[in-house]
Amino acid sequence: MKLLGVKSIIRKKREKYESTAPEISAENVLSRNFNATKPNEKWTTDVTEFKVAGTKQKLYLSAILDLYDRSVVSYEISTRNDNSLVFRTYEEAVKSNPGATPLLHSDRGFQYTSKVFQTKLGKAGIRQSMSRVGRCIDNGPTEGFWGIIKSEMYYLKKYDSLEELREDIIQYIHFYNYERLQERFDDRTPMAVRIAALTAENVAQYPIKENKRIQKYYANLKSKQEQYSIA
C-alpha cells in the first residue's frame, strides 16, 4: 500500500471520558428517531476534539446538525471546550434560522446541562432532548458526522499547527455542506436538499432505510424467544 501511495481510512475508537453530575438533565425525547420531515424540526449537537500530533495542542469543534438534510447548521472552533463554545454554536444556529423551534438533542455534557443553556433554549421555545448515560448511539447522526470528518480529512494528514488544522476543518465543512453528494438524497448535497425544502410547498421526504443487520438481529432474537416459550 505504501508503494502505491494508498492510505486506509479507519475510524478510531472513541476515548472514554469521566462523566460529571449534571445541573439539570432532560429525557431522551428523540429516542433514536432520526427521521425528520422538514428542516429545523430536529437538531443534534455535540463537541469533538482534534489534536496536533506530537504536542498538547487541541482544537474543539462544536456543531449543530439538522436531521432533515444532515447539513451543518452552525459550528464553532476553539482551543477551549467550555460553555462559550457551545453557546456561540447555538446562538449562530438560531441567528441563521430565525423563528426555528426544533427539538435539540445532545449528550449530557456539562455545557448542555447548565442552567444558562437551558434558559436560552426556554426563551427560544426550543425543547431539549438528551442521550441516556453511556449510550452514544442515542446521538448517532452527530457521532456519524464526527466519523466522516475525521476519516475523510483528519486521519489522512499530519497537522503541524492549529492554524493549518483550523483551516482544513473550515474547508471540509464547506465541502460537506455544498459539495459532498449523498446517496440518500439522490446524489445531492445537504445544502441543495435544504434550500429546496425551504422554498418548496411540498417538502420532499428522505426516510432512513432500515438497517439490515439490525433487522436480522431482532428476527433472530424473536425466533429464539418463540422457541424457548414453546419449550
From CA 16, how far away is CA 133, in angstroms rounded?
13
SS (H, E, C) 4-71: CCCCCCCCCCCCCCCCCCCCCCCCCCCCCCCCCCCCCCEEEEEEEEEECCCCCCEEEEEEEEECCCCC
Residue 224: the pLDDT is: 75
- pLDDT band for 231, please (50, 70, 90 cuts): low
Among 18-22, 74-78, 112-116, which is the least confidently predicted range? 18-22
Residue 7: the pLDDT is: 61
Query: What is the reported pTM?
Result: 0.83
